Amino acid sequence: MRNQKGITLIALVITIIVLLILAGVSIAMLTGQNGILTRATEAKSDTARAEVVERINMELNGIYTDALAGQKKFNAAYIAQINTNLNGKAQVVETVEEDATTSTITIKGTGDYTSIQGSVNAGSTPVSISPAS
């Protein structure tokens, strides 16, 4: 009898079946409701929203600091500088001078983030801030 070397048909079929199972599991992990691609997309949108919230809160804290330092007049140049700092992610939507000593500045997100908003009431005692969330 000769020694035959090679792979049997059964071994080849089993290998192909195992590879198909692995491919199916990999595709299921990539796609689907809780797949890697879906979670990456959600993480991207969460990060963008957090960036807008952080940018608004930084500007609100700057306004708060200016109000505590005694700057009560928030003129057009001041508002323009805030809008420049917000870099198109948000904008000052309302500046209300209630009287000679009190002003309220409200900043709201733009685009998909219009639900994000915060304000500073400058001149009240104490100066109050409503951070974006």
pTM of the model: 0.72
67 vs 77: CA distance, rounded Å: 16
Q: Tell whether the model's pLDDT for residue 18 goes beyond 80.
A: yes
Q: Which amino acid is at 44?
A: K
Neighbours of 130 (CB within 10 A): 13
Closest CA to 122 of 99, 102, 92, 106: 102
Per residue in 81-126, pLDDT (tens digit) is: 888 888 888 888 877 766 666 778 888 988 888 888 888 887 666 6
